[in-house]
Structure 1
Amino acid sequence: MATITKVHAREILDSRGNPTVEVELTTADGTFRADVPSGASTGENEAMEIRDGGSRYLGKGVATAVDNVISTIGPAIMGMDAQDVAALDKVMLDLDGTPNKGKLGANAILGVSMAACRAGAAHRKEPLYVFLNRLAGSPTMVMPVPCFNCINGGVHAGNYLPFQEFFLIPLGASSFKEAMQLGSETYHTLKGLLKKKYGLDSTAVGDEGGFAPRIDSPEEALKLLVEAIDAAGYTGKIMIGSDPASSETYDKASGKYNLDFKKPEGEQTPASIKSGDELVSYWVEMASKYPIVLLEDPADENDFESHAKLTARLGGAVEIVGDDLYCTNPAIVERGISCKATNAMLLKVNQIGTISEAIAAYKLCVDQEWGVFVSHRSGETEDSFIADLTVALGTGHLKTGAPCRSERLCKYNQLLRIEEDLGSNAIFAGKDFRKSGRF
């Protein structure tokens, strides 16, 4: 047994300078650390972060969650085997006893779950990705296609661009290492184009390393990516994806989508107001004009109907991914399966709060031959856990920001190490990126 002898936690700062939870779990094999990420654009069904409120850190302190790890979770799991992650997660879920982890906090529970995985891997004297692969029972370990978030809008940027993220997706690379090269070169080419077209201030980077040029049209963002791909010499090798995060544009009162929602009322146009059906047609048109292979949350988080209509029309050629739609929650994924809302799920470990539950959601998707798209959060740390998780589950693709900023690059750099470690056994997903868990 990898017997747990000590559990500790502390408050650290994430990539946005906000507090988050760091957990340390000790066994005879050493002390193992995990840092918990945090999102800005969050779904209403996500597991609950515990924040302190008050004036300290403008209300965003996590001292309560830290104390929950030390005073409540720690004594309950002392003496348990860190290798048995499912048992540890169950103890924490039972201790919490709420549907959304509102008592102890998903940020407290997840840190322990992640640290236990590291302790279990160390006890078996194997890399984390091998331990996670065994934990999930996934048949094949696969190097993912990196999806680089290079142009930002929505709540992630101070421009008028309504949709949140636009990706470069190097499907035509022959390895993860080459995919990094293609993405990095195109990212820097894009930077030069933006500087020339919009000025130096359009090359400042946001939370995830992407640029926020002075544009307001999603189609202009797509054109810029195509221009950068062509200028970099990778036409046909790099495709495009987008996370519109459409819940931000949705007006519950009218039931319509307002693509000018960031503009002053006097500058908004009637053409920017779209029904669900009109938004579906809009994305069908964009996919016919640009090399789009992935759309994440193209409709509101409660608009299963529009998602299903878009999946029916585009799902053969484009991966339609549910993020806020599902919140990595197996129960909500079941609903999506029943109405054929999408053909893929975004996997964010802090949306659900334990590694066991994240794996359960992944398995549901694999059983349906859906894609699984692993993701970082906008508030990140130097923890590279999701790099190992992506390979372990064989999800085929992940997004963890632009090839910029150390809290993003630590995941990409870990994947470079894993590919080297796998050597001739390394499988790169490439154009099969949608075959999550089925390589």
Structure 2
Amino acid sequence: MKTIIKNIESLEVLDSRGNPTVRTYVELEDGTKTFSTVPSGASTGMNEAVELRDNEERYGGKGVKSACMNVENIIAKEIKGMNSTKQMEIDSIMNELDGTESKSNLGANAILSVSMAVAKASALSLGIPLFQYLGGSNACRIPVPCMNILNGGEHADNSVDFQEFMLVPLGAPCFAEGLRYVAEIFHTLKAILKDKGLATSVGDEGGFAPNCSSNEEAIEFIVMAIEKAGYKPGIDVSIAVDSAANSFSPNLDNHYNMIWSGAGEMSSDDLIDLSSSWLDKYPIVLWEDPMSEGDWDGFSRFTQKFGDKIEVVGDDIFVTNTKFIKKGIELGTANSALIKLNQIGTVSETIQAVRLCREAGWRYFLSHRSGETEDTFLSDFAVAMDGGHLKTGSACRGERIAKYNRLLEIERILAGKSEYRWK
């Protein structure tokens, strides 16, 4: 059979922050060869699947040669000769080989690199676009690009506490136009910041990282840029916020300290009041991680108050893990889960998390990581999962643009049959 796995090799390469990551090559019996490269996060939940790092002098301890060796010496021996289309079986075997819930023995970076590469090889061998191989022949929904335009928190060295402010081109007629809207606003914001004497350097995900006088000034700049670019806030383009509240909750509980902006200590109720005032004034349609991963009660109260108006997304609190998503569904913690492949560590388990959200009537928000690679697997995966929206960085940095450009390709492949809608 042509989709039999013939060979697997792994290589230590660099991600967008210049840190090592794992790239795995898969070759099939029919001569098909491809590879996948895994990303790495900076703002991480404590229950995420664990990357394996060498903890040696080279690369400041961040080398991944041990993970690469695990691919070649352990995983490859078990799955060579298997049919690459048996995705769930292959992923299950790797999890069994690891033997831990966190994937800490072999490394989630090792396991995911193989899982992604196997899927890509299967699609390539069968002559099917990856998004259709993973999502079926009817996969046609191109996600609305939630473009990161201004960074703060752990993704930037500035005075903004909240990690991401994103543009959401809901009013665009198609993905290509939506991408144009937000790219134009990105460049308009750059001119506004420059005119005000503020820095136009960018953070890890390509958003600008100015020293604002307050967190709210950041969002005011964005509204100004939307209008100056010729668009209507809340009609053509809306806003999404990722607080990444873990980064300013020292004990990951219901106590917060806005250390970068100097706003000081806050409680869950204080954050809810702040959010309420913003939602009254600004066209916000999505809010991610408004509370820390330990503040389940605060998260639920936030959702109870705002969940009928906006999408409330759990990231660090759920970490793409069905166990935590199930708990969130039972408690009404949110109404959406962020979905990151490397948080859980295999393609199959990521799909299971998406299915759980669907069954509960939740939304799910596909996402990149701050330490990204040029691999465009995420773009195809987002279309395959039919989620309606995706965040994968700003209108700069090649590892982000590669994913937007792949979505432009997919829209063209679908030749007028694609859908572009938020819900």
- What is the TM-score of this pair, normalised by structure 1? 0.93
Q: Deviations over 1:243-267 (max 9, x none)?
A: 11001111329841111x236xxxx
Q: Secondary structure at the match of 1:356?
A: helix
Find the partner of 2:359 among 364, 367, 379: 367
1:72 corresponding residue in structure 2: 74
Q: Residue in 2 aligned with 1:339?
A: 331
Contact 1:29 1:122 in 2 (8 A): no
Match of 1:112 among 106, 111, 114: 114
CA deviations 1:267-305 (Å, max 9, x no partner) are x45xx3211122112111111110000111010012111
Amino acid at match of 2:60: L
Q: Distance in 1 between matches of 2:289 and 2:205?
A: 18
Give, in whole Å, the separation in 2 of the partners of 1:94 and 1:72.
12
Q: Secondary structure of the residue that 1:203 maps to in structure 2?
A: coil
Residue of structure 2 aligned with 1:101, choices 100, 103, 106:
103
Write out aligned runs for 1:34-433 (5 A). Answer: 34-134=36-136, 140-199=139-198, 202-235=199-232, 236-252=235-251, 255-259=254-258, 261-262=259-260, 268=262, 272-429=264-421, 433=422
SS at match of 1:425: coil
Contact 1:141 1:393 in 2 (8 A): no
Aligned to 1:10: 11
Gaps of 5+ in 2: none
Aligned residue number for residue 22 of structure 2: 21
**2-structure distance, mates of 1:359, 1:141:** 17
Partner SS state of residue 5, structure 1? strand
Distance between the aligned counterparts of 1:308 and 1:58, measured in 2?
40
Q: Is the deviation greater in 73-82 or in 140-149?
A: 140-149
Alpha-carbon offset, residue 140 of structure 1? 4.4
Moved over 2 A (4+): 138-141, 251-255
8 Å contact from structure 1 (residues 150, 209) kept in 2: yes
Residue deviations 1:340-395, cap 9 Å, x none? 10010101000000000000000000111111111111111110000000001111
Contact 2:132 2:138 in 1 (8 A): no
Structure 1 residues 11 and 180 mapped into 2: Cα distance closer, same or farther (>3 Å)?
same
Deviation at 1:228, TM superposition (A): 0.2
Q: Tell me, yes or no, if the aligned pair for 2:252 and 2:292 is still in contact at 8 Å.
A: no
The answer on whether the counterparts of 2:206 and 2:397 sit within 8 Å (CA) in structure 1 is: yes
Cα distance, 1:141 vs structure 2: 2.9
Q: 1:83-137 CA deviation, whole Å, 9 max, x = no partner?
A: 1100000100000010100100000000000001011112221100000103xxx
Summarize the Cα distance change of 1:257–1:54 in structure 2 as closer, same or farther, 3 Å threshold.
same
Task: Tell me if the contact between 1:86 and 1:356 (Cα under 8 Å) persists in the aligned partners.
Answer: yes
Q: 1:393 to 1:73 in 2, by over 3 A?
A: same
Amino acid at match of 1:74: A
Kept in 2, the 8 Å contact 1:162–1:216? The answer is: no
What root-mean-square deviation, in Å, do the aligned CA atoms of Structure 1 and Structure 2 show?
1.3
State TM-score, norm by structure 2.
0.97
Distance 1:422 1:237, change over 3 A: same
The change in CA–CA distance for 1:158 and 1:288 in structure 2 (over 3 A counts) is same
Which secondary structure state, in structure 2, belongs to the residue aligned with residue 130 of structure 1?
helix
Query: Any idea what SS the aligned residue of 1:424 has?
Result: coil
SS of residue in 2 equivalent to 1:301? coil
Alignment gaps of 5+ in structure 1: none
Cα distance between partner residues in 1 of 2:252 and 2:352 = 35
Distance 2:127 2:150 in 1: 41
CA distance in 1, matches of 2:363, 2:138: 15
Question: Is 2:254–2:298's contact at 8 Å kept on the other side of the alignment?
Answer: no
Query: Alignment partner of 1:251: what SS?
Result: coil
Deviation at 1:216, TM superposition (A): 4.5
SS at match of 2:162: coil
CA distance in 1, matches of 2:172, 2:161: 30
Number of corresponding residues: 419
CA pair 300-254 structure 1, distance change in 2 beyond 3 A: closer
**Rounded Cα–Cα distance in structure 1 between residues aligned with 2:379 and 2:294:** 30
Identity among equivalent positions (%) equals 46
- Larger deviation: 36-45 or 276-285? 276-285
**Shift in Å at residue 29 of structure 1?**
3.8
Tell me the amino acid that sits aligned with residue 262 of structure 1. W
Distance 1:75 1:233 in 2: 58
Q: Is the 8 A contact 2:254 2:292 kept in 1?
A: no
